[in-house]
């Protein structure tokens, strides 16, 4: 049994297992920082002068797109006719189609990839939606997909992808036995998509935990400082507050007076901090994932949190000020 027949039989048997929705094969793991990148250009254009786009490339079998949840926007998926005896074809991502063809229809167009003879005249048979297959931070990285059975030399190694409704642990054991029963190879490791993504983002998660800790610590220190400042201000104004109460000032008015000062300090700090945060956002942009460094909802939520903490820190001094007895205040002076 040659490698093409073996891979075909393996994918078919895994896809027919109970609980498996679809199965596919690729020459690379995902996500992977070691992906192949080649220049892609139109076959009809001058290779040295025409538009060239650097693109990640991936060899896949049919059913790869539904297995990984990638939508085929237009065209068709790879099938059993995409073999060495038929013209070479490819599926490209939407971002690559936009870069190469702009507003023109990409289906049926011919492109070239790199310098290898087998990839100098590829017919575009489908457009796939953009996916984070390699760089998890880039949602629209250009990708070109080749039918792996049309290039059997790439079938020697790779990754089997399985979409299942069953528990991953149980289906992994069943798949392992099925692979070993063919007598050609055994699974090196079995992981779920969430585990792979979590491992790929371990540095980002560590940075997020540390940032959350130090951010919380800074918030606590700021609230303590504001509480101390307002407490000192209330102590300095004890006689004034006592006289106001003696002259008929309502305790609610005293409470509001102190809280108003707290709110003014909080709003001044937020007005000063937001532009500084936006100016420094470029320094942390490379460490963020799935959120921009100037995300409006995040800035709004943080500003409201700071304002709420400031009010809480200023409430106790304000309450103590509203409870001052005028006779005690005059005697203390």
Helix (H, G, I), strand (E, B) or coil at 118: helix
Q: For residue 303, what pLDDT is reported? A: 83
pLDDT in tens, 221-259: 888 887 787 777 777 766 666 666 666 667 777 777 777
Q: For residue 326, what pLDDT is reported? A: 61
Q: Which residue positions in the chain have pLDDT lower than 50? A: none
pLDDT in tens, 127-156: 999 988 887 777 788 999 999 999 988 888
Helix (H, G, I), strand (E, B) or coil at 57: strand
Q: For residue 25, what pLDDT is reported? A: 92
> Distance (Å, rounded) from C-alpha 132 to C-alpha 144?
13
Q: For residue 287, what pLDDT is reported? A: 64
Bond from prior residue into 31 cis (ω within 30 degrees of 0):
yes
pTM above 0.95, yes or no: no
Helix (H, G, I), strand (E, B) or coil at 262: helix
> Distance (Å, rounded) from C-alpha 315 to C-alpha 6?
73
> Distance (Å, rounded) from C-alpha 83 to C-alpha 168?
32
Max CA pair span of the chain? 104
């Amino acid at each position: 049994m040659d490698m093409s027949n073996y891979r075909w039989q393996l994918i078919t048997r895994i896809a027919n297992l109970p609980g498996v929705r679809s199965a596919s094969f690729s020459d690379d793991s995902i996500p992977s920082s070691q992906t192949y990148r080649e220049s892609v250009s139109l076959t009809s254009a001058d290779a040295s002068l025409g538009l060239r786009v650097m693109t990640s490339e991936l060899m896949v079998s049919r059913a790869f797109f539904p297995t990984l949840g990638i939508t085929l926007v237009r065209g068709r998926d790879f099938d059993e006719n995409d073999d060495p005896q038929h013209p070479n074809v490819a599926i490209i991502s939407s971002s690559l189609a936009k870069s190469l063809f702009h507003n023109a229809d990409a289906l049926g167009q011919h492109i070239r990839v790199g310098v290898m003879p087998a990839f100098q005249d590829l017919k575009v048979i489908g457009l796939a939606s953009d996916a984070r297959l390699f760089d998890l931070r880039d949602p629209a990285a250009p990708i070109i997909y080749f039918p792996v059975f049309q290039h059997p030399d790439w079938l020697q190694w790779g990754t089997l992808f399985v979409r299942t409704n069953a528990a991953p642990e149980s289906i992994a054991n069943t798949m392992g036995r099925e692979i070993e029963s063919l007598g050609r190879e055994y699974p090196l490791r079995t992981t779920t998509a969430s585990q792979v993504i979590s491992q790929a983002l371990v540095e980002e998660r560590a940075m997020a935990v540390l940032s959350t800790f130090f951010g919380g610590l800074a918030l606590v220190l700021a609230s303590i400082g504001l509480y101390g400042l307002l407490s000192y201000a209330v102590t300095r104004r004890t006689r004034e507050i006592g006289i106001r109460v003696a002259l008929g000032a309502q305790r609610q008015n005293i409470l509001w007076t102190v809280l108003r000062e707290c709110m003014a300090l909080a709003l001044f700090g937020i007005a000063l901090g937001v532009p500084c945060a936006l100016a420094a956002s470029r320094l942390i942009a490379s460490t963020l994932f799935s959120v921009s460094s100037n995300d409006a909802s995040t800035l709004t939520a943080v500003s409201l949190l700071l304002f709420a903490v400031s009010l809480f820190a200023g409430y106790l001094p304000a309450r103590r000020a509203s409870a001052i007895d005028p006779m005690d205040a005059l005697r203390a002076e």
